[in-house]
Structure 1
Amino acid sequence: MTRGLAPDRPAFLIAVVCLWLATVGNVALWHGLFERSLLRGFGGWILVAGLGVGIAGLMALLSSLLAWRWTLKPVLVLWLLVSAGCTHFMLSYGMVMDPSMLVNVLQTDPHEAADLMSGRLLLNLLLLGVLPAVWVVRRPVSYGRWTGRLKGNLQTAVLSLVITVVALFACFQPLASTVRNHHEVRYLVNPLNVVYALGKVAFSGPAHARGLAPIGEDAAIAAPFGPAHPPLLVLVLGETGRVGNFGVNGYERDTTPELARQDIVSFRNVWSCGTSTAASVPCMFSRLGRERFLDRDHDEEGLLDVLQRAGYGVLWLDNQGGCKGVCDRVPNAATCADGECLDAALLEGLDARLAALPAERRARGVVLVLHQIGSHGPAYYRRSSPETKRFLPECTQNELQSCSRAELVNAYDNSIAYTDHLLGATIGWLKQKEVNWRPAMMYVADHGESLGENNLYLHGLPYAVAPDVQKRVPWITWMSPGFVHDTGLGVTCLRSRAEERLSHDHYFHSVLGLMGVSTSVYDAARDVYAPCRAGGVKAAQVSAIS
């Protein structure tokens, strides 16, 4: 409390903070409306005035419910700090705060958080959050008796509600048009976007509340692999892979020279389940497909559970922020628990890890999952080793908008070149196993990335409004001659499907098909390899051209 100042009423403190939030705290919203040419003419001014007063009124309404001696100042300080942080990321990277993005924030590990730290972030937090918060903390407030406080809080709430209704009604026509044609704008309303996202995440969780339902209880191995040569499948789960930046997919830069030397199949029209790891990974390892996964009323086991139940050895190795629950019931390990490593750490000691799996499961076959840090931004320059940096100069800052477009693309392309190096090394390791195994590798990224197109950076936009570069991902397969022989797959047939539209919906069923798992949850129609398998669709053509 500051000496010499007459105590304020709680309503005054609420009004000042909420007006600050509605104006300065929503600069990202006003910038977004301006960029969408929605602030022109008289209608634009009506929209700004009505929306600004409406935001202030709603924030005042929420704050008045908590305007008690021990809660008011902490709540107002929290509003200010959250608003400042959201403003920075929305302006700097084009992010919006929807429920999916909030989940990403909550699941961010310390290393990922450190990559986002910058001088500009600290400055924005100081100017937009800390300094106003200090003012709030130092203002003396008179709360009075609890009965009077209750009456005052109710009066403030009613007045705030009336102001909000009048303001929004006054700008209803331009506001309704804006929300209808620009759905993403609602996620720019700060910090109400965070309040909505928290409520959505907290109260829309019946899928988790009802427990985990088992699936594939009838799973069994029906593959033609002989006991002397069991299958060894490496699933490389890529991070932030843009399909268009892979040289093997026609990119003008040679970002994938090692893959180009291998006999691979690359599907180039694949769409992700989501635009973030938290959204995509659980979805792609589910049997449901994107639409059913989003609408599910309970959680259930996934791909790795079915593979393990069938009798295979399964191991998840992680160089990212965890497996988002999909590896919880199978053996798993972090490759770099004490720091941030390059993805080469995933291959270190792999022979020993393979040998440590139960012998009876190894005898049937093994599925290894390598979860990359890949091209995770914004610190792309940290995702490649010095010897694989082929494109210079590269952006070496976390504040991507401070780099030139060329430097930013160079840094990202270097991370793809390093992924190429990892995949080449993985294939090399698998070739060493051909004497005793039938090895294969499948690389699929979880989502794409924005590199400054339309002033958007990173990923995580709501799926409906996210640009295609955040949703199109690479899907690359390498199979040893023995694996091709035993499965009856026609490589030429697979290459003829390179441009067909596919998605993460096919992932679960395609892996089961490759591993020859017989189960009622397998859907051959969503197995991308099934049409090119001997005995399946196009069998005659496959036999003739393979």
Structure 2
Amino acid sequence: MSSDQGAITLLMAAILSIDDWLTRTAIGGFVNKSMTEIRKVVACVHALVACASARRALHLSATGLAFVVSLWVVALDNRAFWRVLWDTRDSSSWRGSAAVSMLAVVLWALLATALRGLFWRWMAKPVACLVLLTSAVLAHFIDTFGVVIDRGMIRNALETDLREIADLLSLRWWLDVGLRGLVPAAFVALAVQIKRSSSWRRETRDVLALVLGTTTLTLATTAAFFADYAATARNQREVRHLLTPTNALNALWGIWKERRPSRTTLATVGSDATRKSSASLDRKPLMVVLVVGETARAANFSLGGYGRPTNVALNRPDLVYFSNVVSCGTDTATSLPCMFSDIGTERFSITEASARENILDVLVRAGVDAAWIENTSGCKEVCKRVPTKSLFDEPQRWCGAATCFDDVLVPALQQAADASAADKLVVLHMQGSHGPAYFKRYPPTARRFTPTCDTNSIQGCDLESLRNTYDNSIAFTSDVLARSIEWLERASSRKDIVLLYLSDHGESLGEGGLYLHGLPRRLAPRTQVQVPMLMWVSPGAARRLGVTPLVLQASSDAQYSHDNLFHTLLGAFEIDTAAYRSGLDIFAIARSSGPRRRTAPP
């Protein structure tokens, strides 16, 4: 027996063992239907291995393989792309249908040509398998959650951690990627044999002929349907983010360009920052506690009018809820750097933000202590120049479990507050309501709304149980904030204290077939950009800042955004700098006679 035959035999034996195990086991209580689906994937791989072991290989040229792979990807991994184009075509004329059909042929030819250019010698099979697997993964998230694959989404994927990845790998993920990616990749790897060209000159000639033919087809089709394609490109610009796998390639290219080092030193922000003379008066130190929420949407806060009691713990007269706040982005990788920067939503870019200082740098330069306490996957480099404590990376130390619920932030806040007698900003970064595993964001004792969706395959849950689970996470966030305020009340005899809670972005919970977040901001529904913000001010801090809960309440329905945070923190710590804009300072707005002025982009 040859080494290849031996390897195939061992692989087949392993697959048979897995199949036998699946037949006899209900993993973690999965239903029999799921086991049947898994066995379908295994059965497909059985057939491929048996075909290869019997030497019934399919002989294809490199060009033939390129066309087969591209047909699979264009047809099966781009269903959302074709659905959008087909729904937006001019159905009253044959021309619209013809334009979509010819575009399919052109994309098939273009992808095949690109693949053929990569199918040289031994690279053909590895590249084909990589394209099939990658396209299947991308297609799964597009079809399942209604997301688009753009620069922001790929940036989120690159910056996530293993625990967040595990939350996304549901049984449905394995089945979908298995059928659309693993099975065809296994077929290519085990059952396809590449016919080698007789010479490299002939191979080059064939590739050039393919390029010429595809170019001719593309130009002819574009000329025939230019008006149709131009209208689609103008009116459906985001459809390009649905075309797999070019969407991921374009996004990676954009991220590479934005991450190229453009300067060796950070641009200084607020170089003239100094404390006002009033800040040096003999009075208690000021502590601002900024709680950055995760994936909390304003639509599910009862403080803002939501019909379910998700904020019972926060029903107190001295707490102010701001009902009209929008986020800078629809993902953490965008919103977190943006809310701490002075750039503003309209001009914000990751490239610019990474090349300049943020509000933490300005505060430290002016003599304010700053500390960051992390209980999720990272601060996106916002906190890299201030002392940072990660509870997320050391859960056994802080809560004796694989992961810590957000209530661990309360004792961590107490430690940070007691560690300094100077004016200080303490940032608490929560896990909040990060999905899709919302049921993991609160302990079983906080399960108030039932039934719940206790799985990361949220698209398989009914909307009521999904909403219950998400609302439980919001209610638990409220409990954590209430416990923090209770402790801060006791500490207010020693410090003047402000607590400000602000979420990074919202979330979609199945409305319109959309789940999670991350859509381009101009396309995102309101639920992904409208976020909760609330504030509690101790009596001493209220006197110090010249505001009261009633004064703040009077301007609480004005329009605010993440842009307000930078200037509100400068105002709270009484910092003089040319970077400060009083029109974006929440405290200055409350003190002014026109609280309803426009303070956020539409």
Alignment of 1:216-365 (within 5 A): 216-222=270-276, 224=279, 226-294=281-349, 299-337=355-393, 338=395, 339-356=402-419, 362-365=420-423
Q: Which residue of 2 aligns with 1:451?
A: 509
- Closer/same/farther in 2, CA of residues 514 and 126 from structure 1, 3 Å limit: same
Q: Name the Cα RMSD after superposition.
A: 2.3
- Closer/same/farther in 2, CA of residues 21 and 163 from structure 1, 3 Å limit: farther
Q: Which residue of 2 aligns with 1:75?
A: 127
Measured after TM superposition, the shift of residue 398 of structure 1 is 1.4
SS of the residue corresponding to residue 235 of structure 1 reads: strand
Q: Which residue of 2 aligns with 1:172?
A: 226
SS of the residue corresponding to residue 193 of structure 2 reads: coil
- Closer/same/farther in 2, CA of residues 331 and 461 from structure 1, 3 Å limit: same
Q: Which residue of 1 aligns with 2:15?
A: none
Counterpart residue type for residue 407 of structure 1: S
- Closer/same/farther in 2, CA of residues 379 and 50 from structure 1, 3 Å limit: same
In 2, distance between residues paired with 1:380 and 1:225? 45
Measured after TM superposition, the shift of residue 218 of structure 1 is 2.2
Deviations 1:397-430 (A, max 9, x none): 2122211111111111111101100110111121
In 2, distance between residues paired with 1:340 and 1:39? 53
- Do 1:255 and 1:416's aligned partners in 2 also have CA atoms closer than 8 Å? yes
In 2, distance between residues paired with 1:249 and 1:442? 16
Measured after TM superposition, the shift of residue 385 of structure 1 is 2.1
Alignment of 1:146-545 (within 5 A): 146-205=200-259, 211-222=265-276, 224=279, 226-294=281-349, 299-337=355-393, 338=395, 339-356=402-419, 362-533=420-591
Of stretches 175-184 and 443-452 in structure 1, the one that deviates more from structure 2 is 175-184
In 1, distance between residues paired with 2:126 and 2:323? 51
SS of the residue corresponding to residue 521 of structure 2 reads: coil
Q: Which residue of 1 aligns with 2:72?
A: 20
Measured after TM superposition, the shift of residue 437 of structure 1 is 0.5
Q: Which residue of 1 aligns with 2:188?
A: 136
SS of the residue corresponding to residue 529 of structure 1 reads: helix
- Do 1:61 and 1:161's aligned partners in 2 also have CA atoms closer than 8 Å? no
Q: Which residue of 2 aligns with 1:359?
A: none
Q: Which residue of 1 aligns with 2:139?
A: 87
Q: Which residue of 2 aligns with 1:119?
A: 171
- Do 1:445 and 1:475's aligned partners in 2 also have CA atoms closer than 8 Å? yes
Matched residue count? 532
Counterpart residue type for residue 209 of structure 2: Q
Counterpart residue type for residue 367 of structure 1: L
Measured after TM superposition, the shift of residue 261 of structure 1 is 2.0
- Closer/same/farther in 2, CA of residues 528 and 406 from structure 1, 3 Å limit: same
Measured after TM superposition, the shift of residue 257 of structure 1 is 1.1
Counterpart residue type for residue 118 of structure 2: L
Measured after TM superposition, the shift of residue 161 of structure 1 is 2.8
In 1, distance between residues paired with 2:264 and 2:87? 44
Whether 1:62 aligns to 2:114 is: yes
Bigger-Rg structure (1/2): 2
Deviations 1:207-255 (A, max 9, x none): 7655422222222222547444111111000111111211111111111
Deviations 1:77-126 (A, max 9, x none): 22111111111111111011011111011112111111111111111111
SS of the residue corresponding to residue 213 of structure 1 reads: coil
In 1, distance between residues paired with 2:434 and 2:460? 18
Measured after TM superposition, the shift of residue 160 of structure 1 is 2.8
Measured after TM superposition, the shift of residue 63 of structure 1 is 1.7
Measured after TM superposition, the shift of residue 396 of structure 1 is 1.2
SS of the residue corresponding to residue 367 of structure 1 reads: strand
- Do 2:373 and 2:412's aligned partners in 1 also have CA atoms closer than 8 Å? no
Of stretches 456-465 and 195-204 in structure 1, the one that deviates more from structure 2 is 195-204
In 1, distance between residues paired with 2:478 and 2:90? 44
TM norm structure 2: 0.83
Measured after TM superposition, the shift of residue 39 of structure 1 is 6.5
- Do 2:86 and 2:97's aligned partners in 1 also have CA atoms closer than 8 Å? no
- Closer/same/farther in 2, CA of residues 230 and 6 from structure 1, 3 Å limit: closer
Unaligned residue ranges in structure 1 (runs of 5+): 357-361, 540-546
Counterpart residue type for residue 487 of structure 2: W
Q: Which residue of 1 aligns with 2:9?
A: none
- Closer/same/farther in 2, CA of residues 430 and 52 from structure 1, 3 Å limit: same
Deviations 1:456-488 (A, max 9, x none): 011000111111110111111110000000111
TM norm structure 1: 0.92
- Closer/same/farther in 2, CA of residues 84 and 169 from structure 1, 3 Å limit: farther
SS of the residue corresponding to residue 118 of structure 2 reads: coil
- Closer/same/farther in 2, CA of residues 233 and 8 from structure 1, 3 Å limit: same
Q: Per chain length, whose mean CA-contact separation is higher, i.e. which structure has more relative contact order (CA < 8 Å, sep 6+)? A: 1
- Do 1:69 and 1:143's aligned partners in 2 also have CA atoms closer than 8 Å? no
Q: Which residue of 1 aligns with 2:97?
A: 45
In 2, distance between residues paired with 1:426 and 1:466? 32
In 2, distance between residues paired with 1:40 and 1:191? 31
Counterpart residue type for residue 189 of structure 1: L
Counterpart residue type for residue 220 of structure 1: T
Measured after TM superposition, the shift of residue 181 of structure 1 is 2.3
- Identical counterparts, % of pairs: 38
In 2, distance between residues paired with 1:500 and 1:160? 56
In 1, distance between residues paired with 2:324 and 2:486? 27
Measured after TM superposition, the shift of residue 296 of structure 1 is 6.4
SS of the residue corresponding to residue 432 of structure 1 reads: helix
- Closer/same/farther in 2, CA of residues 34 and 341 from structure 1, 3 Å limit: farther
Of stretches 466-475 and 183-192 in structure 1, the one that deviates more from structure 2 is 183-192
In 1, distance between residues paired with 2:297 and 2:585? 23
Unaligned residue ranges in structure 2 (runs of 5+): 5-51, 396-401, 596-602
- Closer/same/farther in 2, CA of residues 469 and 38 from structure 1, 3 Å limit: farther
In 1, distance between residues paired with 2:467 and 2:557? 25
In 1, distance between residues paired with 2:460 and 2:435? 14
Counterpart residue type for residue 163 of structure 1: L
In 1, distance between residues paired with 2:593 and 2:272? 25
In 2, distance between residues paired with 1:399 and 1:445? 24
In 2, distance between residues paired with 1:207 and 1:524? 33
SS of the residue corresponding to residue 428 of structure 2 reads: strand
In 2, distance between residues paired with 1:497 and 1:253? 25
